[in-house]
Each structure stands twice: as structure tokens, then as C-alpha cells.
Structure 1
């Protein structure tokens, strides 16, 4: 069984999920069908781990660099788990590109290269937003793309970490009539 709790943050309401011992999800309000990604029934019920996570989030949104003192248990394929572990290595207040992560994984596997798009798919399926910092990944050209919580939230999270935003941009997408 999974349990959930809401948290009001500066980037909107968040939903935290746990199996009672580990954090299994941290989702933005209106993020696509997060509960369908869980294998169990989700019940709103207090769990002690929620206190640790909400304290961590309070510290994070206060501009501090809190230490994670609770366990995380995202569920995914081996490839996704590998990408998510790389996300956890990105220092607070810094960014990397999808290509950087792809190259790291390719090197570890003894390959000459790996698809940045495959990494992007794994980053986009991260079930524990903010704590597993997928918002710190940007496009090779400095574009702020590919964030499940929305680009506005990505910008707010990077600003919260005092990332120098002067070299980033939000690509505009136009459609021809």
C-alpha cells in the first residue's frame, strides 16, 4: 500500500507518496496521472517519514541545502534507475545537460556514445521531483526544456538554488498556419 500527503510549496501543491518506509514519489499538482504509475492503492494517511520530507522541503525552499535523511525508492527500469542516480549526483545550484549524462553512462558501459533523447525520457519519468533533481538538467544549447512540472516551475527551482540564469533560454515553439 502507498500513502500520500500534500505539501504547499512556493511552486504549487505537491503530493508526497511513501510505502511507509521510503519515499516513492514527489509529484507536482496536475502532473499527469501520477497515481496510475503506482502499483498499489494510495491512501491519505500520516506516516512518520512525511515529517522528514516536509522538513527537507521547508529547508530547500528557504534556500538551504538540506541533507536527505530518509530513503528514496523510485521504481523504474535499470536504465531509468541509472539515470536517476546520475541526477542525484548533480550538485545543488549547478546544471548539466542531457548529453553530459548520456556520455557518463556511455563511458561506464564502454560505449562511444548514447542517445541524449533516451536520457531525456528517463529524466522525464523521474517519480521523485525536486529531491531527485531533474530540474537541474538542461538542453545542450542552454534551453530550459523537458520538465514535467512545467518550465515556469523549473525556472523557480533553479532560481531558488541561485543558479545564474543569464545563459539559459526558453525555446519558443511556433506552428505554421
Structure 2
């Protein structure tokens, strides 16, 4: 089956979206200098249109959960790890250790972290919601600044009124 690709400009880089009628296989983030501007002007293939719409809604603060058919490629272990990421709600975080425990093997923390790092569906499968046990923003393939930006989008600090 032939896959389709489109590029979509987000506030924190260019999303490269790949998929077919069986689902979205990849959403990767690229720096703007990595993408020819002409690719941003191409029409979005039908099988990718809903993904672009939902990403637009997410970035505009109108969407807290994705409702897409996904078809990521990975090992059985990676798929299990990625599926567990889908249980972390919008605005919440989880540690690598807690994720490993949820998967039934606290000693697999490095393998879980490695699988998170290979997540092919940026934002859709929310690996940005995994943080270090000490609360640090560690290990994000898209760059720590993007992880921080996404977490702030999902859980903005509300200024408390003094009165």
C-alpha cells in the first residue's frame, strides 16, 4: 500500500505526517530549515487531512485528546510501551519508573525510555508527558525545549489572584 506524506507548520516546527488508509504511521517534528517551503504549500492527501485538522485543534487549545487511526511500526515491546503512553491524560505527566512499573517491570526502565525515544507519532502518542523521577524534563527526541513548550501548552500555570 502506498503511503502519503504531508508537511504541516506548527508553532514549534514542521510536522512531517506519513500514513495511508490504514492509519497514521509517523508524525515527526523537523526544524524549519530542514523542509523546503514548497512542501508546505502542497495539498494534504485525504488520508492525512484529519490528522492535520486535529493537530491544528491541539495547537490552538481546542483539543485535548486525539481520535485518529494510528498504525505505528515497531517491535511488540515498543508497541506495548507506546500504548501505555496513551493512558497519560492531557495536562498530566508520568515518570519513566512509573511507566515501567505500569508495564509490569520496574527494572525495564532503560528499555522503556529507549522505546519512548523511538515513538514515531510525535504528540499523538504523548511521550512528551514522561519526565524524570526528579521532575526533570529528560529524554525528548524533539528537543527539551519542545517538550517544555508542549507541557506548558497542556498545563499552563495559572496566575493566582492576590485578592
Normalised to the residue count of structure 2, the TM-score between the two structures is 0.83
Query: Does the aligned pair in 2 maintain the 1:3–1:45 contact within 8 Å?
Result: no
Q: Which residue number in structure 2 is paired with residue 139 of structure 1?
A: 132
User: What CA distance in whole angstroms lies between the structure 2 residues aligned with 1:45 and 1:64?
Assistant: 23
Offset at 1:49? 2.6
Offset at 1:66? 4.4
Q: Which residue number in structure 1 is paired with residue 19 of structure 2?
A: 18
Which consecutive segments of 4 or more residues in structure 1 shift more than 3 A? none
Instruction: Name the CA shift for 1:89/1:163 in 2 (closer, same or farther; >3 Å).
Output: farther
Q: Which residue number in structure 1 is paired with residue 77 of structure 2?
A: 79
Q: Which residue number in structure 2 is paired with residue 3 of structure 1?
A: 4
Instruction: Name the CA shift for 1:67/1:98 in 2 (closer, same or farther; >3 Å).
Output: closer
Query: Does the aligned pair in 1 maintain the 2:65–2:90 contact within 8 Å?
Result: no
Provide the aligned length of Structure 1 versus Structure 2. Answer: 146
Instruction: Name the CA shift for 1:58/1:46 in 2 (closer, same or farther; >3 Å).
Output: closer
Q: Deviations over 1:26-66 (max 9, x none)?
A: 00115xxxxxxxxxxxxx87421321111101110011234
Q: Which residue number in structure 2 is paired with residue 92 of structure 1?
A: 90
Give 5+ residue unaligned stretches, structure 2.
32-41, 158-163
Normalised to the residue count of structure 1, the TM-score between the two structures is 0.77
Give 5+ residue unaligned stretches, structure 1.
31-43, 165-177
